[in-house]
Amino acid sequence: MPKKELLLVLIIAFLIGAIGGAFFLEPIYEELPSAVSLIEKNVPGNEETLYLDLSSSINMNELKDELSKTEGFISFKETGVTIPLWKFNDREYKYFNDILGNIDSHYKHYNVTKDGRLQIQLEDNYSSYEALKSFSDWYKLVYGGSISYAQVHAELVVSSSSVEKFRDILMEHGVVPSKMEGPVQNTYNQTNNTLLPNAYFVIATGAVGVIVAIFGVYYESFGIFSRRFNRSMRNKRKR
């Protein structure tokens, strides 16, 4: 085959392979991490931890009650609260660092940031409601106002096979997990990290198209070479 015609065939083969990869294979390729993690999802005893950032205005008792009654529930724990105020100057930053631990004896672990965020870690058996009430009472006494918003951090542990069910419940309350950890998520992340970027995958399918085209063009030559090779091997054995 003339070189120009061969080049045209290879270009067309690449385009067909790339287009086929982009429209038919890429959607399947993208679902590979989900398919692989499905195995871990159905292993008995596997657990996933969902990390939640909840508005303090949410009815926490109602949410806890609904979650605990759902099959696959293991535990729900409030771990901390974040109270955004205003951007502190150096004096205010030092003041809140000094005073925060004195507002409530349960504020043993906390962090104050320069942008005005008070991050309080909750002790076991100490609820976000109690922590926020202590701060609200102090804030009203000192500043004569009330805090307008706070965020509650929680950890929800569920069986791996029930994750989607709990995500749907959380969505009904306007909550999206900020992070998830466990065998299913770990498998998903590991598989996803090994995949080629979509653009490279399309290029790879185009390259496969070129290889197939080359094999088709030179199939007869390959066949002749194979027959000659087999014949020579048989002759060597006879000797």
In the chain, what are the domain boundaries? Answer: 1-45+182-231, 47-180
Residue 200: per-residue pLDDT: 75
- Check residue 198 and give its pLDDT: 76
Strand ordering across the sheet containing 47-55: 109-112, 117-121, 73-84, 151-159, 47-55, 179-181
Q: Are 175 and 50 in contact (CB under 8 A)?
A: no
**Token code pair at residue 223:** 């066949």
Task: Give pairs for 171-180: CB < 8 Å, separation 24+.
Answer: 173/58, 173/63, 174/55, 174/58, 175/52, 175/53, 175/54, 175/58, 175/63, 177/50, 177/51, 177/52, 178/51, 178/52, 178/53, 179/50, 179/51, 180/48, 180/49, 180/50, 180/51
Q: Residue 42: what pLDDT?
A: 73
**pLDDT tens for the chain, residues 1 to 239:** 566 666 777 777 778 777 876 777 767 666 666 666 666 777 777 889 999 999 888 888 889 999 999 999 999 999 999 999 989 999 999 999 999 888 988 887 899 999 999 999 998 888 899 999 999 999 999 988 888 889 999 999 999 888 889 999 999 888 989 998 887 777 777 777 777 777 877 888 878 877 887 777 666 665 555 666 566 656 555 55
Query: Can you give the pLDDT at residue 20?
Result: 76
